[in-house]
Structure 1
């Protein structure tokens, strides 16, 4: 343990942290001792950002440990924060200790320093503040597997005392977990304390794995209803924190849904039942109906506007996957969509995703770019009502993502989208959503001198993506490939993400044949997305699958680029036999093989994986 007086004995300028030189660390550590609480808070915040940055530690982390340990004992009002900082600095997976990389790792150096000062920090386990005791327990837990025998014995003795006698149940639960980290397998499932029972059940479930025993499920459902109100958000492995418990229950979807229903029925404290249900939908296929039923039951328990908005956003994501959403859920969304507050838009978006026809009237009453795009995708038959509003919003000067969404909203309408030609021309002229406007103008098929002149001018833009889109659109309208070929020659000759440009070549077909000399070498590029785009473009140009199929088949799999490769394979009409076992597994897997954010509102890639895999099996 080292005092601030020794800070200058370390050559901090020779060490690095997340932002480069660690020469600022001494000043931050000295600030911890100041009477200025705001300055001390800022110092803690900065230390969490530089010597420990998003789970990563650095050269300067281990040398800081003895000084942080001293501050944890002597700096005013920062004991809990600094003990937790020591804990997260030393956090590591048990398997890493056996790795050949461990001895030379920064985390091994941190653990070594923490083990050296731990005996002096053990009195923190007796601190009158529960938060300090819990932070001290978490610090001890992080080095439980590397502590030398003597400090280990001292730590176990004090942790056992907390487990037996501490007046705060949450501290006893933490102590139980730490004892398990020390190899003491305790499972007091019959403890009179809910916090201890819950910790014991979680530890037992982690050891057994799913399916979980009924007695554990009952404890999860009953004792996990309302987490300890003094719990915190610090990361810490193998604890009863809600995130870890939710992850555990997600591994057994039937049990997880049962527990989520109990938690929601008990008031959905902290939205924990909702989050558990949604985690199951994100991890397991074909659970949307049950999850959305629980989401409907949870709506009355949302405690504020932010929570309600979140529920609607998530409902809007999963309801899109149901062929026929329940009337009760759609009616609830309709009621909220008519509200005069911040929850109305996400509720209306969810109602639109449910394909409820009442959504169109509401969207037209309060049009936003995102709502109009969603409505156009799901109600293309309402073109006569939606297109005038889309045109009006574009004419009003929509920019950025709003402009892009409004132009994309025209895509489902086919020839009827030509009515928006004046607004698209203005977008291209003023460079508002110009890339998608150029594509849309090309797809419209209407060639005028004004449009072709604007497209030709756009091929000289400094924006490479606009040059590519405008060049292909120019070819589609004029039939003259020269401008497009010249533009693409330059784009493909430059260094960069060439797959971004190749993906736009499909409309040119064999007119892009002069580009094959540039494209064929990319079939062997090191970047997966480039190989995929090159294979796809090669097929578009030649009409032959011979060169494309081997490349696409090699890339195919449950990854973003693998899914894109599978879609491209389907367009070739080829389905290699050697892919079929994998395709069958993609179709039959009960777990989701591709993840997605529940806030994207753009469907789910795992559903696309299953659909395209089924299609490829029929081709085979």
Structure 2
């Protein structure tokens, strides 16, 4: 085994975590009779040698030896090795080559070209592996037929043979997918593959799952040729698959060692649990349907029709996957999502608490548009409290507890006070209280009940422990959102303790809370003032902003702000804009900063220039804003907010605003639902104000 393995200077190459000299040992471990040793080596290959899909020169150099393992019948778990080979090859082709097939030149060079060339030379051997007696090896090798076999005729013939021979759904789905991959990678095969897929889709003998795969993969090959009949055909076949795939209970998540809660923040633990959930797939058709949704892209109405059928499946795993896909659609694409929101809300009544919890979590993540689901969420919460009692938030059954908590959080994010009883129960009993704290700020109408409890939790935090940072920040953020001056004393105590313990992020959060309280926190000035000269670059601007908010002493604040313009430009500009005309001393500096090479500096400086200088600064401000938004659409929220304040002088922005609103994909900062919905709202308001005839004109479709 492994002739020439030690002739390679592995130590001269690197992987994601340094020297690649460990690769020979990893290769030998993949052949070990010990299961644990093999799994550890495979994890290391994916984690370091093929880190997040990267293909290093060392990755490519390992391929001959991995292939030797895959071809040797004595290798344990050969399928896992074949899957690793396919993954390396797929990533090498996707990352290393342009659409026209030319290799991308990277510096430092990657191993993509070398890896792709080697695996293409072994294309015929993938054909042999695809016929291996071991079904797992066949399943792992099938994608290689579409990726590495350049002889289109041979590849198509092998795929036809395999489809006729295989009976399992997973294998058939991969075969049809490999055919589409072949057509996309080898243009000479396109016509042949398209005809074959059309025949499969139309032939009832193949069964609904294979036919659905043919419809989807044919659409993948030619997305611009998707006709009006494609989605209805897919929906009909999807409906037929309900009878072809057995209904199964959702498999429980794999057990993991308990995380020590005394050293790891509960938010971190929950984030990893959520990541685990998101990476799991519960239904055999889910990957296929994800492909279909990717191909359909901005066709929101058609995708909603597909999701409606998915959400109607008798199989809970299929519905769970569909709920997650629904969230991805609503968070990524613009359009009227009312129907889909109601369909997701319908899942709250299912007997499967995991599906209900996921539905509630999706509604919470889409809260700026989730109002149509409000009554369904309230009814779900009321039913659970009636059936399980007032403490269902802390129910011992993990799925029931998550279902209730996610629904309460979703309703709270809508600002609905019907979420309050469960939130108060959580805060009083300290059961997963951090989940309640995260959404408390959305209920300002209940500040009198929430603030005392939040302050009590804040006082109990041990600020000498780093793991408490996230909890303290969340409470301070909630108190700032609620804006009740009754919290000033607790926040001030926290500010002092955080500063003593060097908790910079908590110090900053406490300053922001005091800023939110404004003059009601005037007694905090003596504590805030020393922090305006803190060494931490984030604390200084927060302290200056808080000092201005609570004291309003321009003579004290202006020198500090002018100093901040040297290093914390954005923070200083935002506060200068808030001060307005009295901050005219900053005008020369702000004008100079409009030539800064970073748009995230130019935009806040332009906004401040408008707030301070007004109409006289309009031409320069408008030019800076429009150039920044055209170059970096992520600045759009800040730009349109300033344009909104400029009134009729913002008229030259109309073409860019119309262009922005015509985009089907969500935009704005982080392309999130909340930022995009705000962007659309202000954009439409501006267009209506600046061009009233536009109200009568049809809005360009976004889906």
Normalised by the length of structure 1, the TM-score is 0.85
User: Which range is displaced more, 440-449 or 4-13?
Assistant: 440-449
SS in 1 for 2:580: helix
Q: Distance in 1 between the 2:599 and 2:243 partners? A: 46
Whether contact under 8 Å (1:202, 1:245) holds in the other structure is yes
What are the superposed Cα offsets for residues 97-145 of structure 1, whole Å, 9 maximum, x if unpaired? 625434886322211111223334433222223221021111222224x
Residues 130, 320 of structure 1: alpha-carbon distance in 2 compared, 3 angstrom cutoff: same
SS in 2 for 1:241: helix
For residue 522 of structure 1, report the CA deviation from its aligned partner. Answer: 2.6
Q: Identify the structure with the greater helix proportion.
A: 2
Candidates 443, 451, 460, aligned match of 1:387 = 451
Candidates 289, 294, 297, aligned match of 2:346 = 297
User: Which range is displaced more, 81-90 or 510-519?
Assistant: 510-519
For residue 502 of structure 1, report the CA deviation from its aligned partner. Answer: 3.4
Residues 548, 32 of structure 1: alpha-carbon distance in 2 compared, 3 angstrom cutoff: same
What are the superposed Cα offsets for residues 270-300 of structure 1, whole Å, 9 maximum, x if unpaired? 4132233323323443443212221133235
Q: Distance in 2 between the 1:370 and 1:159 partners? A: 50
For residue 613 of structure 1, report the CA deviation from its aligned partner. Answer: 0.5
- Note if 1:439 corresponds to 2:439: no
Q: Distance in 1 between the 2:495 and 2:79 partners? A: 57
What are the superposed Cα offsets for residues 300-336 of structure 1, whole Å, 9 maximum, x if unpaired? 547454x543322211233442455453443113334
Residue 186 of structure 2 aligns with which residue?
none
For residue 381 of structure 1, report the CA deviation from its aligned partner. Answer: 3.2
Candidates 439, 442, 450, aligned match of 1:374 = 439
Normalised by the length of structure 2, the TM-score is 0.76
Residues 569, 371 of structure 1: alpha-carbon distance in 2 compared, 3 angstrom cutoff: farther
Residues 107, 500 of structure 1: alpha-carbon distance in 2 compared, 3 angstrom cutoff: farther
Whether contact under 8 Å (1:556, 1:562) holds in the other structure is yes
Please, what is the CA RMSD of the aligned residues?
A: 3.5
Whether contact under 8 Å (1:224, 1:263) holds in the other structure is no
Candidates 112, 115, 128, aligned match of 1:110 = 115
Residue 21 of structure 2 aligns with which residue?
23
Residue 47 of structure 1 aligns with which residue?
45
Q: Distance in 1 between the 2:650 and 2:521 partners? A: 45
- Note if 1:73 corresponds to 2:140: no
For residue 483 of structure 1, report the CA deviation from its aligned partner. Answer: 5.0
Residues 586, 172 of structure 1: alpha-carbon distance in 2 compared, 3 angstrom cutoff: same
Structure 1: tracts of 5 or more residues without a match: none
- Note if 1:172 corresponds to 2:168: no
Residue 305 of structure 2 aligns with which residue?
258
Residues 322, 113 of structure 1: alpha-carbon distance in 2 compared, 3 angstrom cutoff: closer
Residues 447, 382 of structure 1: alpha-carbon distance in 2 compared, 3 angstrom cutoff: closer
- Note if 1:468 corresponds to 2:541: yes
Residue 219 of structure 1 aligns with which residue?
237
Candidates 93, 116, 124, aligned match of 1:119 = 124
For residue 476 of structure 1, report the CA deviation from its aligned partner. Answer: 4.0
Residue 694 of structure 2 aligns with which residue?
none
What are the superposed Cα offsets for residues 244-292 of structure 1, whole Å, 9 maximum, x if unpaired? 2343455533333233222222234241322333233234434432122
Residues 5, 322 of structure 1: alpha-carbon distance in 2 compared, 3 angstrom cutoff: closer
Candidates 270, 282, 300, aligned match of 2:331 = 282
Residue 562 of structure 1 aligns with which residue?
636
Whether contact under 8 Å (1:28, 1:43) holds in the other structure is yes
Q: Distance in 2 between the 1:424 and 1:369 partners? A: 18
Whether contact under 8 Å (2:654, 2:687) holds in the other structure is yes
Residues 201, 374 of structure 1: alpha-carbon distance in 2 compared, 3 angstrom cutoff: same
Whether contact under 8 Å (1:163, 1:173) holds in the other structure is no
SS in 1 for 2:533: coil
Q: Distance in 2 between the 1:229 and 1:335 partners? A: 27
1:307-326 matched pairs, under 5 angstroms: 307-323=355-371, 325=373
What are the superposed Cα offsets for residues 413-463 of structure 1, whole Å, 9 maximum, x if unpaired? 55xx22222112112211273223323434534488862221112123232
Whether contact under 8 Å (1:285, 1:592) holds in the other structure is yes
Whether contact under 8 Å (2:216, 2:288) holds in the other structure is no
Whether contact under 8 Å (1:330, 1:354) holds in the other structure is no
Candidates 478, 490, 493, aligned match of 1:423 = 490
Whether contact under 8 Å (1:59, 1:106) holds in the other structure is yes
Whether contact under 8 Å (1:256, 1:277) holds in the other structure is no
Candidates 200, 209, 214, aligned match of 2:226 = 209
Residue 363 of structure 1 aligns with which residue?
423
Whether contact under 8 Å (2:444, 2:481) holds in the other structure is yes
Residues 201, 445 of structure 1: alpha-carbon distance in 2 compared, 3 angstrom cutoff: closer
Q: Distance in 2 between the 1:582 and 1:288 partners? A: 25
For residue 195 of structure 1, report the CA deviation from its aligned partner. Answer: 3.2
What are the superposed Cα offsets for residues 344-383 of structure 1, whole Å, 9 maximum, x if unpaired? 3222111223443322333223234553563443x43333
Residue 572 of structure 1 aligns with which residue?
646
Residues 43, 425 of structure 1: alpha-carbon distance in 2 compared, 3 angstrom cutoff: same
Residue 405 of structure 1 aligns with which residue?
474
SS in 2 for 1:352: helix
For residue 157 of structure 1, report the CA deviation from its aligned partner. Answer: 4.2
Structure 2: tracts of 5 or more residues without a match: 184-188, 249-278, 396-400, 428-432, 463-467, 691-703
SS in 2 for 1:409: helix
SS in 2 for 1:607: helix
Residues 534, 358 of structure 1: alpha-carbon distance in 2 compared, 3 angstrom cutoff: same
Residues 580, 380 of structure 1: alpha-carbon distance in 2 compared, 3 angstrom cutoff: same
Residue 530 of structure 2 aligns with which residue?
457
Residue 128 of structure 1 aligns with which residue?
133
Residues 224, 136 of structure 1: alpha-carbon distance in 2 compared, 3 angstrom cutoff: farther
SS in 1 for 2:365: helix
Q: Distance in 2 between the 1:619 and 1:88 partners? A: 53
Residue 98 of structure 1 aligns with which residue?
100
What are the superposed Cα offsets for residues 534-573 of structure 1, whole Å, 9 maximum, x if unpaired? 2223333434542322211222368332222211222333
What are the superposed Cα offsets for residues 200-222 of structure 1, whole Å, 9 maximum, x if unpaired? 11123222336443323312343
For residue 616 of structure 1, report the CA deviation from its aligned partner. Answer: 2.1
Give the paired residue count.
Answer: 599
Whether contact under 8 Å (2:514, 2:521) holds in the other structure is no
Q: Distance in 1 between the 2:120 and 2:89 partners? A: 10
User: Which range is displaced more, 195-204 or 357-366?
Assistant: 357-366
Whether contact under 8 Å (2:558, 2:583) holds in the other structure is yes
Whether contact under 8 Å (1:250, 1:279) holds in the other structure is no
Q: Distance in 2 between the 1:323 and 1:59 partners? A: 52
- Note if 1:85 corresponds to 2:150: no
SS in 2 for 1:358: helix
Residue 195 of structure 1 aligns with which residue?
209
